[in-house]
Amino acid sequence: MARIHKIDPETAPEEVKKAIEEHVAKGYRVTNEKLTLLHSVPCFQAIEVGSYAVDEELASIVGKRAADIYEYAISAANDCIVCTTYFKKLLTSEGIDINNFAFTKDEELLVEFARALANDPRHVPAELKDRMQARYSDREFVVITSMGIMMLANNYFNDIMEVEPEKM
């Protein structure tokens, strides 16, 4: 059971209704996590809207598939059931069986970096950072790392608030 109740879109304040309307207009779903975050529109904007903007930039660098795999890998390594469930469903809808899939070399590097971030963000091995910098420009490395941090924020929020995962 969730730590706090979700916002009811029907009875929510106008500011929340507007945030939901804008989010849906962009083609996004309103999930349990989002309905929990919407207790504070600035928090929703920082964590959700911000992560969507960074995700779009990441996808422009590594491709949508690699971005989704990277975000799934962070969530799986971080044991966040909400985000892992979400990304597993997303990858399945893209025709990817995450348990039986051949990654590209770039995807393997991203997954390795994702796992290192999730396991101990303060001690990502220098050798791994060197390989990331050899493959990606400074700007691209900043985007990849920032998306990783956004995923960790999502994961921690879901775990702390005990947000219920979406149905598969």
pLDDT at res. 125: 97
Least confident of 13-17, 100-104, 120-124: 100-104
Per-residue H/E/C for 72-104: HHHHHHCCCHHHHHHHHHHHHHCCCCCCCCCCC
The 10 Å Cβ neighbour count of residue 14 is 7
As a whole number of angstroms, the distance between CA 92 and CA 89 comes to 5
As a whole number of angstroms, the distance between CA 39 and CA 109 comes to 37
Of 107, 44, 119, 31, the residue nearest 75 (C-alpha): 119
Whether 71 and 143 have beta carbons less than 8 Å apart is answered as no
H or E stretch including 142?
A: helix 138-161
Indicate whether 168 pLDDT > 70: no
Q: What is the mean pLDDT of residues 85-101?
A: 85
